Structure 1
Amino acid sequence: MDRTAACSLALVLALVAHSGLSSPAPAGREAWSYVEVRDGAHMFWWLYSARSLDLPLVLWLQGGPGGSGCGFGNFGEIGPLDGDLKPRNTSWELCRGTPSLIHYNVSVEVLTCPACGVQVQAASVLFVDNPVGTGFSYAERPDGFAPDVATVASDMLVLLRHFFTGRPEFQSVPFYIFSESYGGKMAAVISLELTKAVAEGTVKCNFAGVALGDSWISPLDSVMTWGPYLYTTSLLDDHGLEDVRAAAEDVKTAVEQQQFHKATELWSVAETVVEQNTNGVNFYNILTQQPDESRSSAAGEDFIALQVRRHIRPLHGQSLSELMNGPIRKKLGLIPENVTWGGQAEDVFGNMAGDFMRPVVDVVDQLLAAGVNVTVYNGQLDLIVDTMGQELWVKRLKWEGLAGFNDMRWTPLEDPAFPGVTGAFCKTYKNFTFFWILKAGHMIPSDQGPMALQMLRMITQQV
């Protein structure tokens, strides 16, 4: 067994052995706990903190709604360990120390590297299982789930108020919200409410900006561009283009009539039409195929269950579920016996189905008008939130700086992993930035980790 493999095994054994931890975690570089945001509604957070408070604090919000940031975002995208508990070279938290030297130090609750101590790559990172019912977060009764993004934002403000009050050392640290997919829709509304709360003094933090990654800001713009995008990438023929266009028009009609629950159901139908005409293209990366178990509904399956299977269960794959409900659960030591990681995901999505297709473009406008630094970033190969759709709603912003932004040319960015090769394009004007990330799908940190890390450094003004 090589040193890296032995280290990975040691990590697993340490996680399994360390099951007697009290709640909350002791002070150190890693901490986690619950916050009761409403009566019977509990949200779980997990922090990896930098040794230096000169580095920013990043809140990561996953999509779905119902996808777990503490699970998928942490182990699948940007956390210090991947799903096999091996060190991630493009983690947003920990150093790039020699993997064989990194070990789990149970006494201080943190991954440490003897070569350089507990240094981070770019930021402290706070993962939150959001909304209530996602991941290890849970609702004690049916009325504990959030029905809309307004409730999601209200819940998050309770958590952030609790977090910054309990950890005052972070109150002056630049605080950024990064997001992905439906997490971006939530992030926009949360950011607006946080801006108001900071101005009123009810939350003490140094809010520095929000980054909306492949975000469900204007759902209809995404759906209406699926056909043209797939057609121009040779994934639809003329007949398929017409089928997808017709299905998208049905969604548009429902949205225009403010029938948002019906629009969500028709969105599900439109996805099935896409699947049938593309032989199962993957909505998250058009160069791959949708897994068979995520495709069209089985007999008697309603559209909520289908969409959970398509878009949330892939974030809660079997190996990750076994990890979170096994070694990680034991490590955390505070998860209630009746709570299963991911067990309420369908309830989360189902309760928000009537809010799912509502746009929040106006919220982005309000953020820009308030002077908040807003970043939009999108993967070239993403279908479900394709870049064409993102550009459409951006061009309709009422922000006074839009004309200046549109007049600018983008700047090519070198791929850190491939010197001399373009990894992205970027354009910034005043407090608005757009990143076009090449060779990446919906989960940009998974597909283009080095480029995502470079983007993080740019947004947080570390380069």
Structure 2
Amino acid sequence: MWRRLLIVAACCLIFVVPSLSGEAKKVVTHLPGFDGPLPFYLETGYVSVEEDNGVELFYHFVKSERNPATDPVILWLSGGPGCSGFSGLVYEVGPLNYVVVPYNGSLPQLVSNPYSWTKMANFLYLDSPVGSGFSYARDPKGYDVGDYSSSSQVVTFLTKWFNDHPQYLSNPFYVGGSSYAGKVSPIIANYILEEIEERHHPLINLKGYIVGNPITGSNIEENFRVPYAHGVGIISDQQYEIAVESCKGDYVTSTNKICAEVMNVIQKLISEVSLGHIMEDKCVHISPKPINDEHIQLRRPPPRHGTNCFTYKYYLSYFWANYKGSRDALGIREGTVNEWVRCNFNLPYVSDVPSNIDYHHNLTSKGYRALVYSGDHDLLVPFLSTHSWIRSFNYPIVDDWRAWHLDGQAAGFTIKYNNLTFATLKGAGHTAVEYEPKRGFAMAQRWIDNMSL
């Protein structure tokens, strides 16, 4: 079997191109598990963002399949914190998907994603913070980062990347991501704004940001789980009424005894469903045995679910990314990341921004565009909480709450305030566009092209 995979790997061509900074970037034309040449331009590489500790951030760059010379450049980050930007490329908004079939020891297969956002924009998928994906630090101290420092490193990355790719400097630029990336994206955008205001070069053509089911860092998301759970029938009227009366709107830190008792009951009821998507099965974890093979040496395979589970494809990515042929094709430096995991939750990361709501307000009040979207079946970051902090800005309504449509049906609901658009994706969960890719694609295309949803 592995002999066949080595033959496949042999055809995975990499062209090494010198960069302006003297580093090397790789143009990848083939990938293991994908039949034939890639139908899009893929470049990978590392950018040094901190010399003292040798911090190197790894990226995938995919050119727009429409008009790369004028289409926006979008930096896409994944959540966690600690999840690889590769998640964005193969699960959310990128040009590839895994073929979801039971893993039998052979290399997982890849196919084209018909709803890839790269059909209308250039995308930078970044492994940030350091320690996620294939990003690494030569000194262990380099992994000691948080919201502030990792966001600053991303700006350093962008400065160097645009210096190496000056042909994209005039393109509209957006920062984007979902979940925890929704927390740091407006922080990064604010840092870029400061660079622009201070006339630091290169002058990135920042136009705004895109965040999905975004975490703020405050208690607002957890507080809104209670009214959301009541609204969808997870908790009863009586339990909700007691919680409202005794907790006074604070379901997280209240010291009221009755509040604590009813919240204990409510939390048990909430635990009966999947937080990421209340309609999905709660999947049983099965721990596979460690794999040791001449071509793939793995010690920490993720919990395995049944193929009926939405997260099964995450399991497949572990084996694909740790296959030597895949690493060679992507240009991964040997000895830097011995074992790739989709989300590295063992990082010494510090969530040192208590709330990013002010960052949202600063950007949108200065005229920068924002698309904030939510999967309406997400209990982790309920759409109620997201719309609540948006409403707190008291912006005038340009287009009041209404359905937006696709194929003659409601695809979700939306409201527009000034330059900020809020939208829900009907039937979607926490990583909304991953659950509803066709609706997510339509939403993004209309917004990117300055059309009404």
* TM-score under structure 2 length normalisation: 0.76
343 and 48 in structure 1: CA distance in 2 versus 1, 3 angstrom threshold = closer
Within 5 Å, which residues of 2 pair with 1:256-275?
A: none
Aligned partner (choices 446, 455, 459) of residue 443 of structure 2 = 455
User: What amino acid maps onto 1:48 in structure 2?
Assistant: V
Structure 1 residue 343, shift from structure 2 partner = 8.1
189 and 284 in structure 1: CA distance in 2 versus 1, 3 angstrom threshold = same
Does the 8 Å CA contact 1:92/1:123 hold for their aligned counterparts? yes
Please state if 1:50 is matched with 2:48: no
394 and 445 in structure 1: CA distance in 2 versus 1, 3 angstrom threshold = same
Q: Which residue of 2 aligns with 1:325?
A: 322
Q: 1:342-383: per-residue Cα shift (whole Å, max 9, x none)?
A: 2881233x422x537x21111111112222112211111111
User: What amino acid maps onto 2:315 in structure 1?
Assistant: Q
Q: Which residue of 1 aligns with 2:78?
A: 62
Does the 8 Å CA contact 2:55/2:142 hold for their aligned counterparts? yes
Structure 1 residue 455, shift from structure 2 partner = 1.6
Q: 1:182-234: per-residue Cα shift (whole Å, max 9, x none)?
A: 10111010000011112323333211110121000253111001122112211
Q: Which residue of 2 aligns with 1:287?
A: 279
Q: Which residue of 2 aligns with 1:25?
A: 26
455 and 280 in structure 1: CA distance in 2 versus 1, 3 angstrom threshold = same
Structure 1 residue 134, shift from structure 2 partner = 0.7
237 and 57 in structure 1: CA distance in 2 versus 1, 3 angstrom threshold = same
Q: Which residue of 2 aligns with 1:127?
A: 125
Secondary structure, in 3 states, of the residue corresponding to 2:175?
strand
Q: 1:63-120: per-residue Cα shift (whole Å, max 9, x none)?
A: 11011122x1111122211023011111112xxxxxxxxxxxxxxxxxxxxxxxxxxx
Does the 8 Å CA contact 2:81/2:345 hold for their aligned counterparts? no
Aligned partner (choices 87, 90, 93) of residue 78 of structure 1 = 93
Distance 1:216 1:16 in 2: 42
Distance 2:399 2:78 in 1: 31
Distance 1:408 1:206 in 2: 27
Within 5 Å, which residues of 2 pair with 1:400-419?
A: 402-405=394-397, 408-415=399-406, 419=407
56 and 403 in structure 1: CA distance in 2 versus 1, 3 angstrom threshold = closer
Distance 1:315 1:150 in 2: 33
User: What amino acid maps onto 1:66 in structure 2?
Assistant: G
Secondary structure, in 3 states, of the residue corresponding to 2:43?
strand
In structure 2, stretches of 5+ residues that fail to align are 17-23, 30-40, 100-109, 256-261, 287-301, 304-310
Structure 1 residue 20, shift from structure 2 partner = 6.3
Q: Which residue of 2 aligns with 1:390?
A: 386
> Bigger shift: 230-239 or 435-444?
230-239
Q: Which residue of 2 aligns with 1:89?
A: 114
Q: Which residue of 1 aligns with 2:428?
A: 440
Instruction: Tell me how large the CA RMSD over aligned residues is.
Output: 3.3
Q: Which residue of 2 aligns with 1:106?
A: none
Secondary structure, in 3 states, of the residue corresponding to 1:64?
coil
User: What amino acid maps onto 1:86 in structure 2?
Assistant: V
Distance 1:205 1:139 in 2: 26
Structure 1 residue 452, shift from structure 2 partner = 1.0
Looking at secondary structure, tell me which structure has more helix per residue.
1
Please state if 1:37 is matched with 2:35: no
User: What amino acid maps onto 1:152 in structure 2?
Assistant: S
Distance 1:163 1:92 in 2: 21
Secondary structure, in 3 states, of the residue corresponding to 1:216?
coil
In structure 1, stretches of 5+ residues that fail to align are 1-9, 94-120, 255-269, 295-307
Structure 1 residue 163, shift from structure 2 partner = 0.7
Distance 1:138 1:275 in 2: 38
Structure 1 residue 127, shift from structure 2 partner = 0.2
Distance 1:234 1:273 in 2: 14
Distance 1:272 1:457 in 2: 43
* TM-score under structure 1 length normalisation: 0.74
Looking at secondary structure, tell me which structure has more strand per residue.
2
Q: 1:147-202: per-residue Cα shift (whole Å, max 9, x none)?
A: 32111211001100011000011001111122101101110100000111123233
Does the 8 Å CA contact 1:275/1:281 hold for their aligned counterparts? no
Distance 1:146 1:236 in 2: 41
User: What amino acid maps onto 1:24 in structure 2?
Assistant: K
User: What amino acid maps onto 2:275 in structure 1?
Assistant: F
Secondary structure, in 3 states, of the residue corresponding to 2:269?
helix
Distance 1:281 1:440 in 2: 15
Q: Which residue of 1 aligns with 2:21?
A: none
414 and 316 in structure 1: CA distance in 2 versus 1, 3 angstrom threshold = closer
Q: 1:377-422: per-residue Cα shift (whole Å, max 9, x none)?
A: 111111111011112211222xxxx3412x852242112xxx2210
Does the 8 Å CA contact 2:13/2:28 hold for their aligned counterparts? no
Structure 1 residue 276, shift from structure 2 partner = 3.1
Distance 1:412 1:148 in 2: 38
